[in-house]
């Protein structure tokens, strides 16, 4: 006697908000293409019970000057393009980026403090070098972020950039700049479901439409608290699908930055022999961190190493059934 | 599905005899529902009720145990779909496959057994070896099993198609209880016989549909084999995610017994390039594999995957912590600095490894931040000037030092003023934001 099995399908009331990064000429910007993220009505890749119209996007991080604290394994992957954001943006596009993330440092290459004029110049150059949508993050120091990002917002008016880092302490300035010049923000909170939701509400209350808020719940790297980021994202996503409007923003996370600052990725000497080959370990550290977070609901991952990016791309392609 | 206290009450004698140690049958039923009492405590429960209660209380995913020379691996007994709902209980065992056509199996087995890494004080290692009858020859398979068994005492999975190969291999198992992989539609009767005879768990391989799997499981159960492991038959990213999710949901939400077993996966068979194998394994660690068999072992890959498994299977209610207190690193002297961090073990080990590695003496004051990392604890109000001052007082660090110099983690530089107020007479400094930069900091300011 044959057993019949009914496929267990979940019906959710809510869905993730679809958000467009970048604007083409017709839309008031200069991007060659735009990138849509979000829009799914089920958990990641469960096409059998819901739709997932847009694959998770990969942003490649470049910086406005050669990073002073990157692992040699990473710098070796990009070589001399890391000295020049224009070349770097082109190389990132060639490496398969959907989106470019430009990180502005606190200091310029000559050691002088970064300023609005330099930020404008670099953003303008990168916009000319690539047709991909752009995310621009400040150095992560609230005052300097405000100074640089307000200038960037004005310089790139209408481009639908994602501006950051938009946190509890400075969201008013960044969100106002985004509002005034047609951009989006990343709403960043430290690995907590309620804080994530609350900041989206605060930014939305200022008048920035929800379609222009990307949620950035942050994560730890593999071995350094990834389980917190993993579960916070899973809970946020379930809340979104259950209809909680203020958690329905697509999620951006930065596994590249997180993975590459831990010892396993950064250091090759005086570590246990059982850790294995340094470059192999480092690249997998980023790959594993990013892929685990995509499986739990990340819509946009910011990555660093071309090989890790290639592996994660392969996974996304397969999971989208392509 | 677990019964409620009231549902259980209806199955009890309802005489309130108190012989179970509880004042009423209802009180006993409530304790049973909360899994704080055993049904055996009731001397009068009827046989029919007993069976009903036992069936209802069986875990939705059956616990499967493999063992070799007393070394066990367990998989199953999971009760949730998402780790935040409770926790994942039995970290998915990770095996590496060797073939009976490989040269020098004993050396290979020893290499796998020797792999071990220390992660925040936890020893991570591979769980076992899967031996495949790639030659098709039962004698060669038996010789391979003998070679591996002779070299290491790791739990085993036997992979073959021919029932005769399993017979030959079991003769050399030397007391080990391996997983037999696999019974399919063509050989299940013979495989069920071998599994019964050797008391070994049996993997059941479907053709990619849930029906094929459930049908085979039913037939094999009817033949008397209780310990099963499921291979849905799919291999790639999307199919394994889909089927594993459906099987886990059926087991946990529908209490569908025929699929209430751990799932075995072979990520190396689902990818075009071996470099993708760990990526598929990542998915399967999070999404419901009960056994993972890797084809490619390197220390770097194994380290990353074992750490991910440890992270995903950590109980969300109990962050891994170290004891708050004062730790001495590299025999600190009275003039050495006092570094402050929290008692989240990942944080503690990141900091202590760096200080130790730098070879510079320091006092490490681990504040009680309820097991949270520095930034999380600070955001949650669990790592502030009061807690740091309390740590200074309770550890009596002042009696051990001559220079009152305290170094705060760079990410909580904002605490500096408050800490200065809370600890008069101390010189408060802001250290690096990342543990990895501590050696440079200490070399500059020893």
d(CA A225, CA A230): 9
Locate the DSSP E strands across B139-250.
156-159, 179-183, 202-205, 228-231
CB B202 within 8 Å of CB B191: yes
User: A19-319: which CATH architecture?
Assistant: Alpha-Beta Barrel (3.20)
List all residues 6 or more positions away from B114 whose beta carbon is below 8 Å from its beta carbon.
Answer: none
* C-alpha closest to that of B174 among B198, B203, B193: B198
For residue A2, list chain B residues with Cβ-Cβ distance below 8 A: 211, 215
* The predicted structure's pLDDT at residue B2: 66
Most A-contacting residue of B216, B311, B345, B435 (CB-CB within 10 A), to test interface: B311
The long-range contacts involving A66-73, CB below 8 angstroms and separated by at least 24 positions, are A66/A109, A67/A105, A68/A105, A69/A261, A70/A260, A70/A304, A71/A260, A71/A265, A71/A266, A71/A267, A71/A282, A72/A268, A73/A265, A73/A268, A73/A278, A73/A279, A73/A282, A73/A283, A73/A305
Place of tokens 């085993």: B156
Q: Say whether residue A309 is in contact with chain B using an 8 A CB cutoff.
A: no
* The predicted structure's pLDDT at residue B323: 87
Q: pLDDT grade, residue A191 (50/70/90)?
A: confident
For residue A285, list chain B residues with Cβ-Cβ distance below 8 A: 304
Report CB contact under 8 Å: B210, A315. Answer: no
Q: How far is CA B54 from CA A228, A247, B45, in A?
A: 36, 41, 12
Task: Could you please state the CATH topology (level 3) that the domain comprising B325-444 is classified under.
Answer: Rossmann fold (3.40.50)
pLDDT tens, position by position, A61-114: 999 999 988 999 999 999 999 999 999 999 999 999 999 999 999 999 999 999
* The predicted structure's pLDDT at residue A211: 97
Q: pLDDT grade, residue A1 (50/70/90)?
A: low
Cα Rg of chain A (Å, integer): 19
The long-range contacts involving B22-28, CB below 8 angstroms and separated by at least 24 positions, are none
Q: How high is the mean pLDDT of chain A?
A: 96
Report CB contact under 8 Å: A263, B353. Answer: yes
Domain segments of chain A as ranges: 19-319
For residue B308, list chain A residues with Cβ-Cβ distance below 8 A: 222, 226, 288, 292
Most B-contacting residue of A43, A141, A318 (CB-CB within 10 A), to test interface: A318
What DSSP element (H or E) covers B374? helix B374-379
Q: Is the pLDDT of residue A230 over 90?
A: yes
The list of chain B residues with pLDDT below 70 reads: 1-2
Helical segments of A130-225, H only: 142-155, 171-181, 193-205
Task: Could you please state the CATH topology (level 3) that the domain comprising B64-312 is classified under.
Answer: TIM Barrel (3.20.20)
Q: Say whether residue A231 is in contact with chain B using an 8 A CB cutoff.
A: yes
For residue B91, list chain A residues with Cβ-Cβ distance below 8 A: none
Most B-contacting residue of A12, A230, A284, A321 (CB-CB within 10 A), to test interface: A284
Distance from CA of A27 to the nearest CA of B (A): 35
* The predicted structure's pLDDT at residue A128: 98
List all residues 6 or more positions away from A84 whose beta carbon is below 8 Å from its beta carbon.
Answer: none
Most A-contacting residue of B282, B309, B412 (CB-CB within 10 A), to test interface: B282
Place of tokens 């539609």: B185
* The predicted structure's pLDDT at residue A33: 96
d(CA A73, CA A77): 6
Q: Give Cα A315 distance to the centre of its chain.
A: 17
Per-residue three-class SS string for B112-126: HHHCEEEECCEEEEC
Closest chain A CA to residue B320: A225
Distance from CA of B400 to the nearest CA of A (A): 31
Mean local confidence (pLDDT), A235-244: 98
Q: Is the pLDDT of residue A321 over 70?
A: yes
Place of tokens 């005489």: B15
Predicted TM-score of the model (pTM)? 0.89
Q: Say whether residue A116 is in contact with chain B using an 8 A CB cutoff.
A: no
Domain segments of chain B as ranges: 5-53, 64-312, 325-444
First to last CA, chain B: 60
CB pairs under 8 A between A and B: 167
Handedness of CA B235, B241, B243, B247 (dihedral sign): positive
Q: Give Cα B164 distance to the centre of its chain.
A: 34
List all residues 6 or more positions away from A121 whose beta carbon is below 8 Å from its beta carbon.
Answer: none
List all residues 6 or more positions away from B379 whose beta carbon is below 8 Å from its beta carbon.
Answer: A190, A192, A195
CB B400 within 8 Å of CB B378: no
For residue B253, list chain A residues with Cβ-Cβ distance below 8 A: 8
Q: Say whether residue A318 is in contact with chain B using an 8 A CB cutoff.
A: yes
d(CA B41, CA B22): 10
* The predicted structure's pLDDT at residue B394: 93
For residue A7, list chain B residues with Cβ-Cβ distance below 8 A: 210, 246
Q: Say whether residue A3 is in contact with chain B using an 8 A CB cutoff.
A: yes
Q: Which two tokens stand for residue B236?
A: 């790639």
Report CB contact under 8 Å: B346, A224. Answer: yes
Most B-contacting residue of A42, A68, A225 (CB-CB within 10 A), to test interface: A225
* The predicted structure's pLDDT at residue A144: 93
Q: What CATH number does domain B5-53 carry, 3.40.50.2000, 3.40.640.10, 1.10.15.40, 3.20.20.70?
A: 1.10.15.40
pLDDT tens, position by position, A193-220: 999 999 999 999 999 999 999 999 998 8
Q: Is the pLDDT of residue A59 over 70?
A: yes
Residues 151-210 of A with CB under 8 A from B: 190-192, 195
Minimum mean pLDDT range among A27-41, A146-160, A266-280, A307-321: A266-280
**Smallest Cβ distance to A3: which of B116, B258, B354?**
B258
**Smallest Cβ distance to B276: which of A273, A276, A311?**
A311
Q: Which two tokens stand for residue A110?
A: 């000559």
Report CB contact under 8 Å: A263, B238. Answer: no
């Amino acid at each position: 006697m044959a057993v019949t099995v009914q496929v267990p399908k979940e019906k959710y009331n809510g869905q993730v908000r679809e958000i467009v990064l970048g604007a083409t000429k017709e839309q008031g910007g200069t991007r060659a293409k735009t990138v849509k993220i979000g829009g799914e009505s089920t958990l990641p890749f469960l096409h059998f019970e819901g739709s997932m119209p847009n694959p998770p996007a990969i942003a490649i991080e470049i910086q406005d000057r050669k990073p002073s604290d990157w692992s040699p394994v990473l710098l070796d992957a990009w070589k001399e393009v890391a000295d020049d954001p224009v070349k770097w943006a082109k190389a990132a596009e060639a490496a398969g980026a959907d989106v470019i993330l430009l990180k502005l440092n606190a200091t310029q290459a000559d050691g002088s403090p970064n300023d609005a004029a330099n930020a404008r110049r670099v953003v303008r150059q990168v916009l000319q070098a690539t047709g991909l949508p752009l995310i621009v993050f400040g150095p992560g120091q609230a005052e300097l972020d405000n100074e640089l990002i307000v200038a960037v917002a004005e310089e790139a008016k209408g481009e639908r950039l994602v501006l950051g880092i938009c946190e509890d302490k400075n969201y008013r300035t960044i969100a106002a700049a985004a509002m005034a010049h047609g951009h989006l923000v990343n709403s960043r909170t430290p690995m907590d479901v309620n804080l994530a939701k609350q900041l989206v509400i605060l930014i939305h209350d200022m008048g920035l439409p929800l379609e222009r808020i990307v949620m950035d719940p942050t994560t730890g790297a593999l071995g350094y608290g990834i389980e917190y980021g993993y579960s916070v994202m899973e809970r946020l996503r379930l809340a979104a699908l259950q209809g909680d409007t203020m958690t329905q923003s697509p999620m951006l996370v930065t596994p590249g930055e997180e993975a590459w600052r831990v010892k396993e990725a950064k250091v090759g000497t005086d570590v246990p022999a059982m850790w294995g080959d340094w470059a192999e370990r480092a690249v997998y550290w980023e790959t594993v961190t990013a892929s685990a977070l995509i499986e739990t609901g990340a819509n946009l991952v910011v990555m660093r190493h071309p090989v890790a990016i290639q592996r994660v791309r392969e996974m996304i392609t397969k999971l989208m059934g392509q | 599905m677990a019964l409620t206290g009231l549902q259980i009450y209806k199955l009890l004698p309802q005489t309130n005899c108190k012989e179970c140690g509880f004042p009423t049958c209802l009180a006993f039923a409530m304790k049973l529902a909360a899994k704080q009492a055993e049904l055996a405590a009731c001397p009068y429960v009827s046989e029919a009720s007993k069976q009903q209660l036992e069936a209802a209380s069986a875990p939705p995913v059956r616990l499967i145990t493999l063992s070799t020379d007393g070394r066990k691996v367990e998989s199953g007994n999971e009760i949730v779909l998402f780790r935040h709902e409770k926790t994942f209980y039995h970290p998915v065992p990770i095996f590496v496959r060797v073939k009976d056509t490989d040269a020098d199996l004993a050396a290979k087995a020893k290499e796998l057994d020797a792999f071990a890494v220390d992660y925040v004080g936890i020893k991570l290692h591979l769980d076992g070896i899967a031996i495949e009858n790639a030659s098709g020859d039962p004698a060669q398979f038996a010789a391979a099993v003998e070679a591996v068994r002779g070299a290491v005492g790791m739990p085993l999975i036997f992979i073959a198609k021919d029932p005769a190969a399993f017979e030959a291999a079991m003769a050399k198992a030397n007391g080990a209880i391996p997983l037999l992989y696999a019974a399919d539609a063509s050989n299940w009767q013979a495989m069920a016989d071998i599994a019964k005879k050797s008391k070994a768990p049996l993997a059941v391989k479907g053709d990619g549909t849930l029906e094929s799997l459930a049908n085979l499981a039913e037939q094999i159960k009817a033949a008397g084999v209780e310990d099963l492991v499921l291979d849905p038959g799919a291999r790639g990213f999307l199919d394994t995610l889909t089927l594993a999710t459906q099987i886990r949901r059926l087991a946990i939400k529908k209490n569908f017994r025929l699929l209430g077993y751990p799932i075995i996966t072979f990520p190396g068979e689902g990818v075009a390039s071996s470099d993708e194998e760990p990526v598929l394994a990542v998915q399967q660690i999070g999404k419901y594999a009960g056994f993972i068999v890797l084809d490619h072992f390197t220390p770097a890959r194994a380290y990353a995957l074992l750490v991910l498994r440890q992270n995903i299977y950590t109980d969300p209610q109990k962050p891994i912590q170290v004891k708050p207190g004062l730790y001495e690193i590299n025999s600190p002297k009275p003039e050495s600095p006092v570094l402050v961090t929290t008692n989240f073990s990942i944080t503690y080990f990141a900091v202590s490894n760096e200080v130790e590695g730098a070879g510079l003496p320091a006092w490490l004051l681990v504040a009680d931040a309820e097991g949270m990392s520095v930034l999380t604890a600070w955001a949650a109000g669990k790592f502030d000037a009061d807690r740091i001052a309390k740590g200074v007082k309770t550890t009596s660090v002042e009696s051990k030092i001559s220079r009152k110099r305290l170094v705060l983690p760079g990410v909580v530089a904002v605490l500096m003023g408050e800490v200065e107020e809370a600890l008069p007479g101390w010189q408060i400094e802001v250290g690096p934001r990342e543990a990895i930069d501590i050696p440079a900091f200490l070399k500059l300011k020893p």
